[in-house]
Amino acid sequence: MKILEERIKKDGRVLGEDVLKVDNFLNHQVDPQLMQEMGDEFGRLFADEKIDKVLTVESSGIAPAIFAAAALKVPMVFARKKKSITLSAESYIADVYSFTKQETNHVMIDKRFLHEGERVLIIDDFLANGQAVTGLMEIVDAAQAQVVGVGIVIEKTFQKGRAMLDEQGVHVESLARIAAFEDGHVVFAD
Ligand code: G4P
Ligand code: NA
Ligand code: NA
């Protein structure tokens, strides 16, 4: 997506080997016009899939997910993160290991908001190692619902997540694909 790539070039900052800071428009301050255009683009990219619900994880997935859900005219549900959990019959829970933070978090969704047979689109801000998406897919499985696609704002193709999802035959669409960081600059795929 051209305007997103332009925005990454203008406002993104490369940190170290493999992190892109985009807190100017996505992860801290949020640009609602850009979010709307991204949501509309997700709507177009997944127009051929019947979708009942958009799923994401708090906190940075929420902004793009809500605009995607608005474009698709379906509800959006975000999984809540918990440091520790007491197992409950009311919630679906998955473990999500963060390579970045080297810690395991739990994500949970109340069973009232995900149902058997529902067709789910997962949206997230970054696809790196794919741990967050994998956790959400486990939850969708546990609910006997179905993942019909994964929409990502910024994919880093050089990390493990994309290849892993492709291997599973998941329909993945990313609005920006980063092939590498070179001397502090972003190199886009294609
Ligand atoms: P994974 O889900 O693809 O495996 O990602 P990983 O564990 O590597 O990343 C952990 C957190 O860091 C996630 O956010 C993820 O979105 C974010 N992240 C991954 N790569 C980048 C990057 O290059 N830039 C930025 N800004 N974030 C990145 P989170 O901990 O769930 O936090 P949040 O959603 O509350 O912001
Ligand atoms: Na995230
Ligand atoms: Na994040």
Express each pLDDT in 147-170 by its tens digit. 999 999 999 999 999 999 999 999
Diameter over CA atoms, the chain = 50
Using CB distances shorter than 6 Å, the residues near ligand 1 are 19-22, 27, 57, 59-61, 98-100, 125-132, 161
pLDDT band, residue 83 (cuts 50/70/90): confident
For the domain spanning 2-80+115-188, the CATH number is 3.40.50.2020
Atom 24 (ligand 1): residue with closest C-alpha? 20
SS3 79: strand
| Both tokens assigned to 20 | 């892109």
Which ligand number lies closest to the CA of residue 20?
Answer: 1
Distance CA 114, CA 69 (A): 15
Which ligand is the nearest neighbour of the Cα of 58?
A: 1
Q: Is the pLDDT of residue 85 over 80?
A: no
- Report pLDDT digits (tens) over 28-43: 999 999 999 999 999 9
Residue 13 has pLDDT above 90, yes or no: yes
- Tell me how far the alpha carbon of residue 60 lies from the centroid of ligand 3, in angstroms: 5
Position 3 confidence tier, pLDDT thresholds 50, 70, 90: very high
Is 50 annotated in a binding site? The answer is no
pLDDT band at 87 (very low <50, low <70, confident <90, very high): confident
Spatial distance between the Cα atoms of 125 and 103, rounded to a whole number of angstroms: 19
Model pLDDT, residue 53: 98
**Residue nearest ligand 1's atom 7 by CA:** 98
Which ligand has the nearest atom to the CA of 60? 1
The Å distance, Cα 76 to ligand 3 centre, comes to: 18
Q: Tell me whether residue 131 is annotated as binding.
A: yes
Q: How far apart are the first and last CA of the chain?
A: 12
**How far is it, in rounded angstroms, from Cα 46 to Cα 48?**
5
